[in-house]
Amino acid sequence: MPYMAFLCLLLLVSLLLSSPRTITEAKVSAVIVFGDSSVDAGNNNFIPTIARSNFLPYGRDFVGGKATGRFSNGRIPTDFISEAFGLKPTVPAYLDPAYNISDFASGVTFASAGTGYDNATSDVLSVIPLWKQLEYYKEYQAKLIAYQGSATANETMKEALYVMSLGTNDFLENYYTMPGRSSQYNIQQYQDFLIGIAGGFIEKLHGLGARKISLGGLPPMGCLPLERTRNVFGSNDCMESYNNLAVDFNKKLEALTVKLNKDLPDIELVFSNPYYVLLQAIKKPSLYGFDVTSTACCATGIFEMGYACNRNSLFTCTDANKYIFWDSFHPTQKTNQIVSGYVVKNVLSQFL
């Protein structure tokens, strides 16, 4: 079959000529994560803080039913994002001694539940501040160079997708709860203060070699069960003021990405917004197969998270897939899969 052989040869030649370049250019080598409980895979297990979730029923739907320190019944958004890029199905925590640089070479999270952009936010529960997460990243770079050699490590760091997911705690755990920042700044000024920190962080990350960066927006934080519980005069509906604040802050984050894409050479900074897809699931749960939107699965579902959501909690639901929220502050695995699937399809697909 010389004709078939010729066709095969032609195919091979065209593959050799065209695709390796496109494949390497589009490839994401690793998923590298900074942020709060939305993307912490267990770093807080290894620091002295009460912001923990490494006990059941957390993780009951994770591989092996293991409570890793993820604030959910199963996987978190960055796990799904990593898998969507053909990498590992879970992104391990940097401080977890069960993993080493051979695992972290294709993905690692420096995130810490309870943290925010503001140092004063991470102080509330003594968790890892954002600046410290960047220090850990520098340490990681040195380990990666030792492990892969500088040429390969440079390529890994350049082709990695850097994911940032934080901000909710700056408002809910800090500004509206603690006395300090609210006496110093009005809410507009505080937003601008946080945007300044976000911009400075991205500039530093870019200076360290990062190119593909996803800046995450805020969820509809007024619809978190804990905030609904506080909305006693509004029949426990979503707190509109917090939702409006999230929309406002997200606009500023998006404007920041436009500015930095102009200012920083070769950067590919995208804004990943979970707000509308999550709000739609909350308003039209049946579209996604959910039954319960206003309370969480764990315990009474109205205020418990962390140590208050535990094995002894009465009333914990049996099927978390029917719930949008797992505890009073964090989505279920199913919600995480829906939101990250949406973000991958609509925003991160440019890196696929």
Ligand X SMILES: *[C@@H]1O[C@H](CO)[C@@H](O)[C@H](O)[C@H]1NC(C)=O
Contact residue for ligand X among 56, 197, 247, 347 (CB under 6 A) = 197
Q: Cβ neighbours of residue 8 under 8 Å, at least 6 residues apart?
A: none
Binding of residue 199 to ligand X (CB under 6 A):
no
Of 56, 88, 123, 131, the residue at the interface with ligand X (CB under 6 A) is 131
State which residue, 131 or 303, has the beta carbon closest to ligand X: 131
> Could you check whether the bond before residue 57 is cis, i.e. omega within 30 degrees of 0?
yes
**Pick 20 or 196: Cβ nearer ligand X:** 196
Nearer to ligand X, 135 or 248 (CB): 135
- Determine, following the binding rule CB under 6 A, whether residue 209 of this chain makes contact with ligand X: yes
**List of E strands, 36-160:** 107-109
Residue of the chain from 126, 141, 154, 231 that contacts ligand X (CB under 6 A): 154
Residue 285 lies near ligand X (rule: CB under 6 A): no
Contacts within 8 Å (CB) and 24+ apart, 98-104: 101/140, 101/143, 101/144, 101/146, 101/147, 102/147, 104/140, 104/143, 104/144
- 327 among known catalytic residues: yes
Strand ranges inside 143-238, DSSP E: 161-165, 212-216
Q: Sheet of 268-272: strands edge to edge? A: 107-109, 31-35, 161-165, 212-216, 268-272
What residue has token string 């160079």?
145
- Give least dist CB 23 to ligand X, A: 20
Indicate which residue of 29, 37, 112, 122 is catalytic. Answer: 37
The C-alpha atoms of residue 16 and residue 20 are separated, in whole angstroms, by 7
Number of residues that bind ligand X (CB under 6 A): 11
Minimum CB distance to ligand X, residue 151 (Å): 4
Does the footprint of ligand X cover residue 120 (CB under 6 A)? no
Q: Which of 5, 151, 232, 314 binds ligand X (CB under 6 A)?
A: 151
Q: Which stretch binds ligand X (CB under 6 A): 85-93, 148-156, 283-291, 331-339?
A: 148-156
Cβ neighbours of residue 200 closer than 8 Å, sequence gap 6 or more: none
Report whether 119 contacts 177 (CB < 8 A): no
* 150 in contact with ligand X (CB under 6 A): yes
Name the token pair of 264. Answer: 């920083």
Nearer to ligand X, 178 or 247 (CB): 178
- Which residues here bind ligand X, judged by CB under 6 A? 100-102, 119, 131, 147, 150-151, 154, 197, 209
